[in-house]
Amino acid sequence: MAHPAMPLLPRPSLRFVAVWRRNALVWRKLIVPSMLGNFGEPILYLLAFGYGFGSLVGDLDGMRYMVFIASGIICSSAMFTASFEGMYSAYTRMAEQNTWLGMLATPLTLDDIVFAEAVWAATKGLISAITILVVASLLGLVSDARALLALPVIFLAAFTFGALALVITALARSYDFFLYYFTLAVTPMLLLSGVFFPLTELPGWVQGLALALPLAHVLEIVRPLMTGAWPDAWLPHLAVITAYGVGAIILATFLIRRRLLR
Amino acid sequence: MSAIRIDQLRKTYDGVHVVDGVDLEIAPGEFFGLLGPNGAGKTTTLRMLLGMTPIDGGRVEVLGLPMPEGERAVRERLGIVPQFDTLDPDFTVIENMRTYAAYFGLSGPSVEARIDHLLEQVNLNDKRGARIDALSGGMKRRLTLARALINEPEVVVLDEPTTGLDPQARHHLWRQLRALRASGVTLVLTTHYMEEAQELCDRIAIIDHGRIIACDAPSRLIAEHIEPWVLTVGGAGAGDVLQRELGAKDRAHQVADTWLVYTTEPDRLRERLRALGHEPTLREADLEDVFLKLTGHELRD
């Protein structure tokens, strides 16, 4: 008798919250080293580049360099945090600790688990963004309350980066594999998306490349919100981030099912 | 209604029929054993039963629900003790229990009471705050069993639960499993220990090359498939004696430098061997003899 093939689209249930909660409980136990990594390093970048470069560069796009770079650091830090969580931490739970295998002995399905991992990666990205936002506003680098509107955008973006990382995790045979993704995707996005200098300084084709990837679109929305302006054409930017996120979660779920349910 | 019903189940990996037309019916409250050499298809059959491996052909019904379509509803009523340790190393004993309960959507005072009761049952109450890497192998297995019982399952599936345990730990686990059996839970067990299967199971299926080659109560398997007595003799010259003296219905099998003779009438042969200076030992045939007869003596990897 033929069996219906597994549905192509993921069908997570609300049970995913239990998986998210599990990760949150572990994070709470390791909160000091975890926060130091997700928060300490970006703050160092902000201060070093902001003060060090700031006096050389002067104003950029009509704002102090430190103000310019604060929004860049928030976005790139959310990207890094979510990517790390979706790769190193999720891979550990999948392949090293058999955590997911244990979950599959309960009513949870892989669809729940993969979705929960992406939401958890988004949560960690958001936590790091919030802490940096607090420091930035204490340093007077944030214009007004519009900056709070950046947070949901960052949460969505971090979900996208977490889901993209889970695609890589699904294909990884060891931790070394993640270096490809960092070198070929994360680092280029960090350098070319307008984190440290305006996108417009780059040659046209590089701008095109940057706009084909999600991080530049995150900055196009977040930077105005943090510097007291409304973003232009926020909808197309949001659409690109969402499309990457939806595509990545579908692909990650499909690949992880194929890897584990065989 | 059966607790588990499998019809013509099939699974193929890279052209190899790992499970090749398995039929099984397990009654509620039964303690059922699934035996077979490595690679015979036991674990793959179990995985399809649990919805962890897509089914290539045939039907699986657990508690009346089709798999894998009914996986969530089925796993809510199932307890699973996997072959490999899946305890959460980031948590203590009690946190492992609570987190696992949460995966079933269970929390609150009644769950806390159940966790206390289960940890008491498996003798881990004084280890509540211990980290997982501080537990011995036996303790981890007991915790895995306690965890699998958190949802008061109707069916408990155990994949090689006693592999690597010392005899004390194994006997402790057997007591737990007998108690579950007595409380009406259906149990499905895979194991490589024949005396364990013989001791615990009401019925046993022997699976090899993806097919069930025998299925019955342990005592009936022994009665039907093998001569009642086994004469063991070693040392130089034993083979020559056997060649001359073996009865027409006797079967002799060499394992290293020891001979095993399966026979219905051991007395005459035993006397002859003794007369020629050998020291044969006589024992009753057991499940292991049946297993080796049906699946062969060659090594499997």
pLDDT value of residue B274: 84
Confidence of residue A4 (pLDDT cuts 50, 70, 90): low
DSSP annotation of A174: S
d(Cα A109, Cα B74) in Å, to the nearest integer? Answer: 12
Q: Is residue B90 part of a domain?
A: no
Min Cα separation A183/chain B (Å): 30
What is the domain count for chain B? 1
Chain B touched by A13 (CB under 8 Å): yes
Which pTM was predicted? 0.91
DSSP annotation of A9: S
d(Cα B165, Cα B178) in Å, to the nearest integer? Answer: 18
On chain A, the residues whose CB falls within 8 A of the CB of B100 are: 102, 106
Written as one string, the DSSP assignment of chain B is --SEEEEEEEEEETTEEEEEEEEEEE-TT-EEEEE--TTSSHHHHHHHHHTSS--SEEEEEETTEEETTTHHHHHHTEEEE-SS----TTSBHHHHHHHHHHHTT--SHHHHHHHHHHHHHTT-GGGTT-BGGGS-HHHHHHHHHHHHTTT--SEEEEESTTTT--HHHHHHHHHHHHHHHHTT-EEEEE-S-HHHHHHH-SEEEEEETTEEEEEE-HHHHHHHHS-SEEEEEESTTHHHHHHHH--TT-EEEEETTEEEEEES-HHHHHHHHHHTT---EEEE--HHHHHHHHH-SS---
Quote the tokens at residue B20.
Answer: 């090749």
Contact A105 B57 (CB under 8 A): no
B69, B86, B104 member nearest A102 (Cβ): B86
Nearest to B104 by CA among A49, A44, A17, A127: A17
On chain B, the residues whose CB falls within 8 A of the CB of A13 are: 72
Residue of chain A whose Cα is closest to the Cα of B74? A107
Q: Is residue A4 part of a domain?
A: no
Q: Is residue A10 part of a domain?
A: no
Residue ranges of chain B whose CB lies within 8 Å of a chain A CB: 8, 13, 50, 52-59, 69, 71-73, 75-76, 78, 80, 82, 84-91, 95, 99-100, 102-105, 148, 151
Average pLDDT value for residue range A73-84: 95
Give the domain range for residue B237: 227-284
Contact A22 B105 (CB under 8 A): no
A26, A29, A109 member nearest B72 (Cβ): A109
Compute the mean pLDDT over every residue in chain A, rounded to the nearest whole number.
Answer: 92
B58, B90, B148 member nearest A1 (Cβ): B58
User: Is B8 within 8 Å of B23 (Cβ atoms)?
Assistant: yes
On chain B, the residues whose CB falls within 8 A of the CB of A21 are: 102
pLDDT value of residue B279: 83
Residue of chain A whose Cα is closest to the Cα of B85? A98
Q: Is residue B265 part of a domain?
A: yes
Query: One-letter amino acid identity for A78?
Result: A
Rounded to a whole number, what is the distance in angstroms from the first to the last CA of chain B?
38
Confidence of residue A5 (pLDDT cuts 50, 70, 90): low
d(Cα B88, Cα B86) in Å, to the nearest integer? Answer: 6
What is the domain count for chain A? 1
Give the number of beta-carbon pairs within 8 Å between A and B: 76
The three-state secondary structure class of A195 is coil
Contact B57 A3 (CB under 8 A): yes
Residue of chain A whose Cα is closest to the Cα of B55? A3
Average pLDDT value for residue range A3-9: 68
Nearest to A37 by CA among A112, A119, A117, A132: A132
Contact B56 A22 (CB under 8 A): no
Contact A105 B53 (CB under 8 A): no
pLDDT value of residue A55: 82
A2, A18, A109 member nearest B102 (Cβ): A18
pLDDT value of residue B239: 77
Residue of chain B whose Cα is closest to the Cα of A27? B90
Q: Is residue B235 part of a domain?
A: yes
Nearest to B149 by CA among B158, B139, B138: B158
Contact A97 B148 (CB under 8 A): no
B8, B73, B100 member nearest A106 (Cβ): B100
pLDDT value of residue A25: 95
Contact B76 A104 (CB under 8 A): no
Please state the φ and ψ torsions of residue B278, each to the nearest 5 degrees: -90, 165
Q: Cis omega (within 30 of 0) on the bond before B280?
A: no
CATH number at residue B261: 3.30.70
Average pLDDT value for residue range A70-98: 95
User: Is B53 within 8 Å of A262 (Cβ atoms)?
Assistant: yes
Q: Is residue B232 part of a domain?
A: yes
Residues 96-125, chain A, touching B (beta carbon < 8 A):
97-99, 101-109
Please state the φ and ψ torsions of residue B159, each to the nearest 5 degrees: -100, 105
Helix (H), strand (E) at residue A59? strand A59-60
Chain B touched by A28 (CB under 8 Å): no
Task: Report which of residues A125 and A37 the model is more confident about.
Answer: A125
Nearest to B197 by CA among B54, B42, B3: B42
pLDDT value of residue A252: 97
pLDDT tens-digit profile, chain B (301 residues): 899 999 999 999 999 999 999 999 999 999 999 999 888 899 999 999 999 999 999 999 999 999 989 999 999 999 999 988 899 999 999 999 999 999 999 999 999 999 999 999 999 999 999 999 999 988 999 999 999 999 999 999 999 998 888 888 899 999 999 999 999 999 999 999 998 999 999 999 999 999 999 999 999 998 898 888 998 888 777 777 777 777 777 888 887 788 888 988 888 888 888 888 888 888 998 888 888 888 887 777 6
Quote the tokens at residue A86.
Answer: 């979706």
- Of the ranges A124-138, A175-189, B235-249, which one carries the lowest mean pLDDT score? B235-249
User: Is A128 within 8 Å of A39 (Cβ atoms)?
Assistant: yes
Nearest to A73 by CA among A238, A201, A218, A242: A218
pLDDT surpassing 70 at residue A22: yes
Contact B95 A19 (CB under 8 A): no
Min Cα separation B38/chain A (Å): 18
Residue of chain A whose Cα is closest to the Cα of B21? A1
Nearest to B13 by CA among B200, B257, B210, B150: B210
Q: Is residue B260 part of a domain?
A: yes
pLDDT value of residue A20: 98
pLDDT value of residue A1: 42
Q: Is residue B237 part of a domain?
A: yes
Contact B99 A98 (CB under 8 A): no
Q: Is residue B13 part of a domain?
A: no
d(Cα A109, Cα B151) in Å, to the nearest integer? Answer: 17
d(Cα B233, Cα B273) in Å, to the nearest integer? Answer: 9
Confidence of residue A30 (pLDDT cuts 50, 70, 90): confident
In the 3-class helix/strand/coil scheme, how is B53-118 assigned residue by residue? CCCCEEEEEECCEEECCCHHHHHHCEEEECCCCCCCCCCEHHHHHHHHHHHCCCCCHHHHHHHHHH
Q: How far is CA B85 from CA A204, B120, B145, B164, in A?
A: 54, 21, 11, 12
Confidence of residue A211 (pLDDT cuts 50, 70, 90): very high
Contact B75 A261 (CB under 8 A): no
d(Cα B147, Cα B189) in Å, to the nearest integer? Answer: 17
The three-state secondary structure class of A85 is helix
Q: Which of A11, A21, A106 is best to mutate for the B interface (most B CBs within 10 A)?
A: A106
B13, B55, B100 member nearest A3 (Cβ): B55
Give the domain range for residue A83: 16-260
ipTM of the complex: 0.90
Confidence of residue A125 (pLDDT cuts 50, 70, 90): very high
pLDDT surpassing 60 at residue A2: no
Contact A101 B84 (CB under 8 A): yes
B54, B87, B103 member nearest A261 (Cβ): B54
- Of the ranges A40-44, A118-122, A147-151, A208-212, which one carries the lowest mean pLDDT score? A40-44
d(Cα B128, Cα B269) in Å, to the nearest integer? Answer: 59
Contact B82 A25 (CB under 8 A): no
